[in-house]
């Protein structure tokens, strides 16, 4: 009798020993502490650079227009020395295209990202195939959740538990692989556009930001910008402001992007900005005073 009780006790102890705790299924942090701090510092540096860029842009607009313009305020449109219009509002920020252009990735970064995404996609495809093969041959032996009475308050680990580990993994892999393929398609299109140019690929963020900055100058002044650079010295209304903007983002070459930006301003652009924009949506979009 004592032996039978001892066997049952041992079996119960073994069963309880196999019961896993909820916290055992909570993954460790995605990034080591040092990596997380580095990532946060990079995001903070980008945000600070964009804040400085806004200040530089508004300072340039103030100089071009001859009136003080506070960061975040509307942009004056000057013709013949007179302000004829103020532009810019929540739905139409004239500064945002410049900042958006500055966020574009250069070709070298795009190629590096593409390589990493392709390797990740191959690894995820291998995991998906491996899980399918395991299901076909040994599916009943693989635990799909945990045997625990512990429940949380709707945290990710509890959602996965309710769905089932295998099913949650399948949905996550499918969704992530879909997003990766879409991003790879976008990168290929970006690289295709870059390869259509002759010579060494330019630093696209600098070129695009310079072009948008030139468009802003034309909108404010109604004039075509000039980019005069000689022995690292810049002159005129546009080039010094462009130099200040490039300094914020750490771009050293102003001549190439500046000249390309000037050439990009056509007679059509000058005509577009010649007449103040008015209409039934003027108030909503911030067109007019």
3-state secondary structure of 78: strand
User: Quick one: how far is CA 14 from the chain centroid?
Assistant: 51
pLDDT of 152 reads: 64
For residue 17, what are its two tokens? 């020993």
pLDDT of 195 reads: 66
In a domain, 8, yes or no: no
What is the domain range of residue 70?
52-104+203-285
pLDDT of 15 reads: 46
Q: Assess whether 58 and 169 both reside in one domain.
A: no
Q: Assess whether 123 and 164 both reside in one domain.
A: yes
Q: Assess whether 279 and 138 both reside in one domain.
A: no
Q: Assess whether 117 and 162 both reside in one domain.
A: yes
What separation, in Å, do the N-terminal and C-terminal C-alpha atoms of the chain show?
Answer: 96
For residue 120, the tally of other CB atoms under 10 A from its CB is 13
Q: Assess whether 185 and 255 both reside in one domain.
A: no
179-202 per-position pLDDT tens digit: 999 999 999 988 887 765 555 556
pLDDT of 167 reads: 84
Q: Assess whether 281 and 221 both reside in one domain.
A: yes
Mean pLDDT by 10 residues, the chain (289 residues): 55 50 74 79 91 95 93 89 82 86 87 95 93 79 63 72 82 94 92 65 84 95 87 82 95 91 88 60 45
3-state secondary structure of 8: helix
Q: Which helix (H) or strand (E) holds 216?
A: helix 204-221
For residue 41, what are its two tokens? 């510092």
pLDDT of 91 reads: 63
Q: Assess whether 99 and 212 both reside in one domain.
A: yes
25-65 per-position pLDDT tens digit: 777 777 777 777 888 888 899 899 999 999 999 999 999 99
pLDDT of 2 reads: 57
For residue 80, what are its two tokens? 């013949």
Q: Which helix (H) or strand (E) holds 134?
A: helix 107-138
| Coarse DSSP helix, strand, coil percentages of the chain, rounded to the nearest 5 percent | 65, 5, 30
For residue 79, what are its two tokens? 């013709």
- CA 167 – CA 252 distance, rounded (Å): 51
């Amino acid at each position: 009798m004592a032996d039978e009780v001892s066997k049952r006790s041992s079996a119960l102890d073994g069963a309880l020993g196999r019961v896993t705790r909820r916290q055992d299924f909570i993954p460790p942090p995605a990034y080591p502490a040092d990596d997380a701090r580095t990532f946060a510092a990079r995001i903070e540096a980008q945000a600070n650079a964009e804040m400085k860029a806004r200040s530089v842009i508004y300072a340039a607009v103030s100089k071009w227009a001859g009136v003080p313009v506070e960061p975040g305020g509307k942009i004056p449109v000057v013709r013949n020395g007179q302000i004829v219009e103020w532009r810019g509002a929540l739905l139409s920020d004239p500064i945002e295209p410049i900042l958006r252009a500055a966020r574009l990735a250069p070709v070298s970064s795009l190629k590096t990202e593409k390589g990493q995404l392709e390797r990740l996609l191959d690894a995820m495809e291998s995991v998906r195939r491996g899980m399918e093969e395991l299901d076909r041959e040994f599916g009943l032996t693989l635990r799909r959740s945990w045997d625990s009475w512990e429940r949380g308050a709707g945290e990710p680990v509890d959602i996965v538990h309710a769905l089932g580990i295998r099913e949650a993994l399948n949905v996550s892999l499918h969704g992530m692989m879909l997003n990766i393929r879409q991003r790879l398609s976008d990168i290929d299109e970006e690289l295709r556009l870059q390869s259509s140019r002759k010579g060494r690929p330019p630093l696209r963020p600098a070129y695009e930001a310079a072009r948008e900055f030139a468009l802003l100058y034309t909108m404010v002044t109604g004039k075509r910008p000039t980019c005069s650079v000689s022995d690292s010295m810049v002159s005129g209304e546009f080039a010094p402001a462009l130099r200040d903007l490039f300094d914020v983002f750490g771009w050293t070459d102003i001549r190439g992007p500046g000249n390309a930006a000037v050439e990009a301003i056509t007679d059509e652009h000058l005509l577009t900005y010649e007449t103040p924009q008015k209409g039934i949506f003027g108030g909503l979009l911030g067109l007019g005073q």
